[in-house]
Every structure is written in C-alpha cells, then in structure tokens.
C-alpha cells in the first residue's frame, strides 16, 4: 500500500471517529475587559455584543467580564427543566485560582422572601449598624425580597457571610427574565481579604477554574421528605451525609413495600459544571 493511500485511510478513520486534524479548541473562556461595569439587575441590556459560551447538556449560556476590582458574570438558563429546585437551593459559585475543581469554599447566592424582622437580623449579622429610625423604616413594610450571599463548603455548611467590612463592594446578584429565559447576573470581588471574604484571590490576566452548582435537595428539604414518608408509614434510617441530591448513601428502607425509599429520597436533580476562565487585562490605548 502506497503512502498516499495510507494517508487517506488514516484521514477517514480520524473523521469517522469524530476527531479533527485542526488544533483542538481551547476550553478556556476569555473574560472581556469592562471599563463601564454592568448594572447588576438580572437584565441583559449591558451584555450586548458579548461572546457567549454554552454548556449544551444543561441548556445554559454564560459570559464573563472584569475590571481591576470585580468579575461580572451572566448565566442564562435556556431550558426551564434544568432549573431544578434553584429557587429553594440557590446557586453556588466556586472559584479556584489553583486550577483545580475545589469545592471547599464557595459563594451561595439565593433569593428569599423575608419579614422585616428577619431582614434586620440578617443586616445586623452582616455587621451593619442600624439606628432605631432605620429599623422603623424597615418595619413599615411586612416583607422584602432578600438577595442573600454566604460562604459555604462542599456540604453546604455556612462558613460565614460573604459581605465584607467597611465600604467594600460585596458579592451581589440579581435574577430576571429575558423573554422565556431566566437570567442570573453576578458581581464578585477579585481580591480576597478581611474586607472581601467573598473575593476570589485573583488578578486581571490570571486564570482560574469556575464551578456552578444548583438544584437537588437541601438538608432541610431532605429532612422534610423523610418526615412526610414517616408520617405515611414508611420508615427510614439516615446514616450518611447530605449531598444535595447527588447521593442517597446511608438511607435504607426497613419495610420493602411500594416505591423504593432510595428512589424517593433521590429527589430533584442537582446540576453543575466547571469551566476555565482567563481574566482580561486593561486595554492599552
């Protein structure tokens, strides 16, 4: 067999296997330098002409922007079935400058409806000093929408507030709609310090690995599920840790009847993905 025929046979095999002779596309997403920070309002008006990356398996589009102080991120959920229980669990963002899928420290963002007293308690816990006059102003309304953020570990245990001291800008988010799509928009400080406990510890021009997880079942949701099953005459033993719906290790059914308890406790799906990000540097004019 001559060399030319061998070449074409090899080429055919590569194409049949779904491979390409071209250089592989980089998985790393490039952030876009932004001199004018976007308004964090859950809308996409400030994201025109931005190149979007896609996580096709979950129907999510996302894009990054940054300046020398903050990372700005927009997540667009194109398929509502992949939202799972995000309204109850919130979404956790992990940022690892070491380039590893490190979930030991993340920021959980969640929207909650709270009473005036609950809002006051949260604000004071975050270190804000409220005068009696300010408290009375807050009590003039019965309920508030709270866009909360907190530091959590890989088992969803709260490590502390993500809000820093002084006048530093804390991690924030808002959610909104863009036609049929659900939009989550975030701002996260680049620097990590006492003033920025929710910061990422990176600088413009550096790379990091970013992870996003949402849905599944919280510890409270799982305990409520077990309580409901117990009241219906199904007994359960819990001997393992909660993994937000990713695992049912430690649960067993003492009465082999009906639908398996394992299947019931599995509950809604927990979704997540990781991507590599290269932060932008200031544009040289």
From the list 30, 41, 20, the residue with the least C-alpha distance to 208 is: 30
Q: For position 64, what pLDDT does the model report?
A: 98
| Rounded average pLDDT over 217-234 | 78
Residue appearing with tokens 């508030």: 144
Written as six digits, the tokens of 214 are 């949402």
Given a cut of 80, is residue 246 above it in pLDDT? no
Distance between CA atoms of 134 and 69, rounded to whole angstroms? 30
Given a cut of 90, is residue 34 above it in pLDDT? yes
Distance between CA atoms of 247 and 222, rounded to whole angstroms? 12
Distance between CA atoms of 282 and 135, rounded to whole angstroms? 42
| Rounded average pLDDT over 45-62 | 95
Q: Quick: pLDDT tens for 57-94.
A: 999 999 999 999 999 999 999 999 999 999 999 999 99
Distance between CA atoms of 68 and 174, rounded to whole angstroms? 22
Residue with the larger pLDDT of the pair 222 and 58: 58
Choose the weakest-confidence range: 28-42, 66-80, 222-236.
222-236
Q: DSSP secondary structure string, the chain?
A: --HHHHHHHHHHHHHHTT--SSPPPP-PEEPEE-SSPPP-SS-SGGGTTPPPEEEGGGTEEEEEEE-SSEEEEEEEE--GGGGTTHHHH-EEEEEETTSS---SSEEEEEEEEEEHHHHHHHHHHTT----HHHHHHHTTSSEEEEEEEEEE-TT--EEEES--STTPPPPEEEEEEETTEEEEEEEEES--SSS-TT-----TT-EEEEEEEEES--HHHHHHHHHHHHHTT--EEE-S---TTS--TTEEESS--SS-HHHHHH-SPEEEEEEEEE---PPP-
C-alpha triplet 22, 27, 32: angle, nearest 5°: 115
Given a cut of 80, is residue 42 above it in pLDDT? yes
Predicted structure pTM score: 0.75
CATH ID of 28-216, from 1.10.760, 2.60.40, 3.30.70, 1.10.150: 2.60.40
Domain boundaries, the chain: 28-216, 217-267
Choose the weakest-confidence range: 30-39, 150-159, 272-281.
150-159
Given a cut of 90, is residue 181 above it in pLDDT? yes
């Amino acid at each position: 067999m001559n060399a030319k025929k061998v070449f074409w046979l090899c080429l055919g095999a590569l194409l049949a296997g779904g491979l390409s002779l071209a250089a592989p596309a980089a998985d790393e997403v490039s952030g876009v330098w932004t001199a004018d920070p976007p308004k964090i309002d859950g809308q996409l008006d400030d994201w025109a002409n931005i190149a979007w990356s896609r996580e096709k398996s979950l129907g999510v589009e996302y894009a990054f922007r940054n300046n020398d102080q903050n990372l700005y991120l927009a997540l667009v959920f194109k398929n509502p079935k992949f939202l799972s229980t995000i309204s109850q669990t919130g979404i956790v963002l992990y940022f690892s400058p070491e380039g590893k899928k490190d979930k030991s420290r993340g920021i959980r963002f969640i929207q909650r409806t709270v009473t005036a007293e609950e809002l006051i308690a949260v604000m004071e816990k975050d270190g804000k000093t409220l005068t009696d006059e300010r408290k009375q102003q807050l009590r003039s309304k019965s309920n508030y929408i709270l866009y909360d953020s907190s530091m959590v570990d890989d088992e969803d245990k709260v490590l502390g507030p993500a809000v820093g001291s002084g006048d530093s800008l804390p991690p924030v988010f808002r959610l909104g709609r863009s036609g049929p799509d659900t939009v989550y928009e975030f701002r996260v400080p680049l620097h990590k310090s006492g003033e920025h406990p929710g910061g990422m510890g990176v600088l413009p021009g550096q790379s990091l690995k970013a992870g996003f997880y949402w849905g599944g079942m919280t510890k409270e949701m799982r305990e409520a599920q077990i309580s409901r099953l117990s009241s219906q005459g199904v007994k359960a033993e819990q001997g393992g840790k909660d993994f937000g719906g990713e695992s049912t290790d430690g649960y067993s059914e003492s009465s082999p009847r009906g639908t398996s308890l394992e299947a019931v406790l599995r509950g809604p799906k927990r979704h997540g993905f990781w991507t590599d990000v290269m932060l932008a540097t200031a544009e040289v004019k």
